[in-house]
Amino acid sequence: MNVLLLQSNGFCLAGTPIRGIQITTGGDIWYERNYGIPPGIGGKREVYSFLELEFTKVLCGVNDKIYLSTDFGSTWNESSTGYNADTPNRIMRGPDGKIYAAANYPGGVYRSSDNSSTWVHIGVDNTVYSLGWDINAKLCRRNIDGGTFQVRV
């Protein structure tokens, strides 16, 4: 398993490295929920990140795309317009209410001001694995060599 999301409705989504998204309400039985997500290279659906937007809405980074579910993760629609990178390693909501995605090659940080309908590259060109904000609400990222740098947004 790559990533886990416990939703506010009690559902649990697990992102796997091959079989995509699995969902459960109790943990005993898991169901595959990849409706709307095509397989990538080698038939894999590798999930890297989740973000719960609202009660029914979830974002998910799979292979080299970002997907949106409006039904607790049961079905998915691509929501990657403007996202032109590989692996969406981390998706987070910033203190400004916008959504940010950390990306692999060609890398960088992407921002959405419209709940993921469109994405804009904000000028960081290296592979980014993780995002966070400092106490002054400045975006920080962790890149390929493990360094942490501040980014103006």
Tens digit of pLDDT for each residue in 87-99? 899 999 999 999 9
Higher-pLDDT residue of 62 and 9 is: 62
Place of tokens 């969406």: 88
Residues near 82 by beta carbon (within 8 Å), at least 6 away in sequence: 110, 118, 119, 120, 121
Model pTM?
0.89
pLDDT at 133: 82
Higher-pLDDT residue of 110 and 131 is: 110
Number of other residues whose CB lies within 10 A of the CB of residue 55: 10
What are the tens digits of pLDDT across the range 10-54? 889 999 999 999 999 888 899 999 999 999 888 999 999 999 998
